[in-house]
Homo-oligomer: A and B are copies of this chain.
């Protein structure tokens, strides 16, 4: 069975690992610290910094496939790995579109995908010009390295924008700006593609972000032209030659659907597939990067909801077991996934999956269960 190196030690690597164990695949994790989410539960852990080429190469020795749980490995390291004959999935020419939001938007626009107006921001002059062109509806983004809303700003005034831009450029953060659009809702198209070109799409999910952090995702999204979105997401995967799981984050607006961004790995908005689809995004990512045939993405239930467990103000160290017992007394079918992370307010510590026949009820229940585990009391 192929040996797969995952670069990254967070919850995505952890959940890839549990699927790998069941499949009998051999998984190695390149981790920053032995106590991180995936490192703590994986037998084959290499400790080291993924910014260091020698470290990555050492970790990659003897594996059949290298893949990622995040976009932050420097592009030149990936390019050098590929040049030296390593099997990297997705490869660097694809991954660059998940690494650099400006490169991504240019490629999407070239491919005919609808994206909000955007511009590179290399100076406060650029910022001012874009602010004026957009009538002050501006979202500033770090081109690289952002996640969970870190690296996304919504300045309320031109002054604030200019100050932000000056500050970030000072820190050598490459920047872009795009039109701040009015979101009716957000959607996520999740697909998988293997090197031989096989593609499978899951049901489109409606997703909810608060402060840039995902709160919940629900499948199937109501009132979407699923076929159109799938065709379109498949087109992106094929144009960019993506392998593994691709998440296409979408904005649903009065002007239609826009693409927000791409992630080339299992994605928070796809966690519902663990308990709501025949093949989870984690199993599928492993199958895809190993160039094995893909599994069915059919839902196994009418409605599936994932609600994130975000750290509350106080730690749960003393009563997590009781919180879980309480939640299971009310929702015995709540599928609790915990990441083994240290508590920190706002941190993603786990998620709840719940399935059912009533889309409204199942979402309310999943959110209540996740809230209880995070806070130790039911939502008001």
Contacts and interface: CB of A to CB of B under 8 A. Distances in A.
Contacts of A320: 1, 24
A141 B22 CA distance: 33
Interface stretch (A154-162, A255-263, A323-331): A323-331
A346 interface: no
B41 A293 contact: no
Contacts of A325: 292-293
Given A22-B338, A300-B301, 19 more contacts: A1-B320, A1-B321, A2-B321, A17-B21, A18-B18, A22-B336, A24-B320, A24-B337, A24-B339, A24-B340, A24-B350, A41-B43, A278-B355, A290-B321, A292-B321, A292-B328, A293-B329, A294-B328, A300-B300
A296 interface: yes
Question: How many copies, total?
Answer: 2
A279 B21 CA distance: 19
Nearest to A296: B333
A363 interface: no
A24 B324 CA distance: 11
Given A1-B321, A2-B321, A43-B40, A24 B338 contact: yes
B295 A333 contact: yes
Interface string A34-46: 0000001111000
A242 B287 CA distance: 40
Contacts of A97: none
Nearest to A350: B24
Nearest to A42: B43
